[in-house]
Amino acid sequence: MLNVLRRSANNILVKILLGLLTLSFVVWGVDNFTNVKPQAPIVEASGWNIGPQEFTAAYENEFQRLRERYGPTLDKKTAELLGLKMRTLNSLISRHLLLSAAADLRLTVSPDALRRMINENPAFQENGRFSKDRYEIILRNNRLSPREFENQLISDIIIEQLRRTAGTPVAIPAPLVEDIFAMENEQRIAQTLVLQPKSLEETIPANDEDLTGHMRKTPQNYMTPVKVKLRYAVLNADSVRDQVKVTDEEIKEFYNDHLKEYQKPETRQARHILAKIDDKQDAEAATTKIQRAQERLKKGESFAEVAKALSDDATASLGGDLGEFGKGVMAAPFETAAFALEAGKVSEPVTTEFGVHLLLVEKINPATTTPLEKATLEIRGRIVETKAKDLVYERSVTLEDQLFASGNLAAIAKDMNLRYKESDWISRDSADRSGVELDEKFLSAAFATQKGSLSPLTETANNQFVAMEVVDRQDPVPMTLEQARKELLRDYRQERAKEEAHKIMKEVVKKLDEGQPAESLTAMHPQLRLTTTSPFTRESQDKELGPVTRDVAFKLRMERPNHAEVIDDGNRLVALRLIKIIEAKPEDFKKAEPELRKRLEESLGQEQLTAYLNGLWGKANIRMHQEVLDRL
């Protein structure tokens, strides 16, 4: 049923509808909302809050969208690294802020306008007319009543209207657009004399007296690390997985809820011959070339051989082979032709933005659905992991209670089926750490706990809880010279090399300012490198020209072309002389103006919307409960 919606997805209302149905399916498909027990909110604000159920539904929706984009191998750990949790939460907060603002402004959608929008939506039409039966079937299949859907649709339309209004900038004056074009397209050519302090390090002498003196200046940098010996127990999915039960009904329900993941749409394997339409070949010439290809095919030549001889596409050497593709990949006219052809048939000429094509469909791969029987094992595993995660959180409360009651880690671990370990000395520098011992939260808890004490129950990555006892502890003490020699030698040489390099470069800058040719100054040190740059703009990405040097170059004028200071640009010191300023070409402005104006207005519009949301945020008295979010 949703295929009808996807075919009409360029309609703005249909896009909103698809989003609503997807979100609603997750929200109302989890459980009957009237039976959900009250839960501590993640976010509280004046007049509204965001609870775990609403967040989880939105998070799952966004996670599925990411999987559609990056593929089914994407897991939730990777999604978290991509910042999905905070992105989802910020999106929900923005939605609530805009809905609250809309209520204050008394924005609404009239019943007549709402009815007209639904009636005119192709998704709900049969033979070009609104079908009430179709409307109700689509909503019923997605567990929505008309009232629920229409209320959500009104909210989304109002939010979209408010976003557009808040994000629509006033017209940008033409002189400002022209000035920005001139600034962005102005180019500079410069000479740079570069010295890397690192190149001097090996020449810096260092004896024990030098190293001892350096150690006395910053003794805090040369301390032995904290070391601890631990007993610890780990509660994770392995501790509870054997206790998780999954019913056949749950597997069937999961399969139906995630049916799209088990469906593979129809694809085609094809070859094509392309005659490009460009500056070298107009439309008439391209059509003539395709006609020649047709004549050769009629004489019995293979499609692949004709493609090798005549096609202008990069696939010519492969006989025009495009491999396997589904819908939504190729240009629209090309796709239409490809999915209308029978296997083994050659199309009539097809024109796209790339040129004129002939297309041969070699094979049709029908749409398939993995049956429930074949998907059962994988589904069972996914449900087990979800349930195990929930059970781990439940057991963490029991673990915390038992720690408080007895504190006997070994006995608790045996009773609760936890992984138990007694470690040797552990420090942040230990090379033999593994598993949970690599986790930063684990280490922070271990090093913050005193000898003979139990740490608070610590939640680490991958849905694990760790209870630990510090059996023994060695606090930091100053290193001996021999212990710190390697680090001391490195640090001392780095510091002295930078001092020496600055001293050399100050003299270079002075002589450059006195008017001496840059070419003659390379003799001041064998590691000095002179470069005359190619033309660059403010946004040029040139590894030979660092960002600080580039910014300084655009502050110079030809009247005073030498920069009066040494430029510290990352790992190199630079003396800079401006050679030439190349102004933007006025004749290029007319061609670039529409796109530049559009970009500036979009940027300004986004800034306006962000500023508006920030203002709403400040008034809403938002309070976030990180501990609730961390448990999800």
What is the chain's length?
632
pLDDT of residue 6: 35
Q: For residue 289, give the nearest of 353, 349, 337 by alpha carbon.
A: 349
Tell me which residue has tokens 């010295």.
Answer: 195
Q: What Rg do the C-alpha atoms of the chain give, in angstroms?
A: 34
Residue 315 sits at the vertex; the CA angle it makes with 311 and 317, to the nearest 5 degrees, is 80
Our measurement of the distance from residue 506's CA atom to the centroid of its chain's CA atoms, rounded to an integer in Å, reads 43
User: Among 163-167, 203-207, 354-358, 412-416, which is the least confidently predicted range?
Assistant: 163-167
CB atoms within 10 A of CB 588: 11
Query: Minimum mean pLDDT among 88-102, 165-179, 429-443: which range?
Result: 165-179
Over residues 281-311, the pLDDT tens digits come to: 999 999 999 999 999 999 999 999 999 999 9
Higher-confidence position of 26 and 332: 332
**To which residue do tokens 């107009």 refer?**
282
Q: What is the pLDDT of residues 363-374, one digit of tens each?
A: 999 999 999 999
Share of the chain above pLDDT 90, in %: 55
Confidence of residue 481 (pLDDT cuts 50, 70, 90): very high
| 3-state SS class at 286 | helix
CA 53, chain centre distance (Å)? 24
The band of 83, judged by pLDDT with boundaries at 50, 70 and 90, is confident
pLDDT at 256 over 70: yes
Structure tokens at 221: 């940098």
Place of tokens 């033979």: 127
Q: What is the mean pLDDT of residues 311-337?
A: 92
Q: Are 45 and 622 in contact (CB under 8 A)?
A: yes
Say whether pLDDT at 107 is over 80.
yes
Residues 6+ apart with CB under 8 A from 486: none
Supply the DSSP string of 520-541, one letter for each residue: HHGGG-TT-EEEEPPPB-TT--
How far is residue 68 from each of residues 21, 72, 451, measured CA to CA in Å? 17, 7, 50
Strands 572-582, 187-195: pairing kind: antiparallel
Structure tokens that stand for 390 in this block: 């929930």
- Distance between CA 188 and CA 180 in Å, rounded? 16
The whole-number average pLDDT for the span 470-479 is 93
Cα torsion 391, 393, 396, 398 to 10°: value is: -60
Spatial distance between the Cα atoms of 84 and 67, rounded to a whole number of angstroms? 12
How far are the Cα atoms of 27, 54, 114 from residue 24, in angstroms, in the given order?
5, 10, 19
Give CA–CA dist 275/253, Å, rounded. 51
Sign of CA dihedral 180, 182, 187, 193: negative
Of 11-25, 66-80, 426-440, 499-513, where does mean pLDDT reach its minimum?
11-25
Most distant CA pair in the chain, distance? 93
Give yes or no for residue 16 having a pLDDT over 60. Answer: no
pLDDT tens digits, 500-522? 999 999 999 999 999 999 999 99
Beta bridge partners of 573: 195, 568
| Sign of CA pseudo-dihedral 604, 610, 615, 616 | positive
Determine the Cα–Cα distance for residues 27 and 53; give it in Å rounded to an integer.
Answer: 8
Structure tokens at 201: 């390090």
What band does 175 get if pLDDT is binned at 50, 70 and 90? confident
Per the structure block, which two tokens stand in for 506?
Answer: 């100050």
| Conformation bin of residue 532: beta by default, left when phi > 0, alpha when psi is -120 to 50 | beta
Q: 393 or 195: which carries more pLDDT confidence? A: 195
- pLDDT at residue number 80: 81
The reported pLDDT for the residue numbered 5 is: 36
Q: CA angle, corner 375, sides to 369 and 379, nearest 5?
A: 130
**CA 281 – CA 44 distance, rounded (Å):** 63
User: CA-CA distance, 109 to 152, in Å (whole number)?
Assistant: 12
**Which of 20-24, 28-32, 165-169, 505-509 is predicted with the least confidence, judged by mean pLDDT?**
28-32
Least confident window among 146-150, 205-209, 278-282: 146-150
Tens digits of per-residue pLDDT, 546-570? 899 999 999 999 999 999 999 999 8
**Are 359 and 268 spatial neighbours (Cβ–Cβ below 8 Å)?**
no
- Domains defined along the chain, listed by start: 2-168+621-630 (1.10.4030), 187-221+482-582 (no CATH), 227-249+373-474 (3.10.50), 266-366 (3.10.50.40)
pLDDT at 28: 35
Q: What is the mean pLDDT of residues 431-438?
A: 88
Question: What is the structure's pLDDT at 39?
Answer: 67
Given this model, what pLDDT does residue 22 score?
43
The kind and range of the H/E element at 24 are helix 12-30
Which residues, in sequence order, are bridge partners of residue 235?
465
Q: What is the residue-averaged pLDDT of the chain?
A: 87
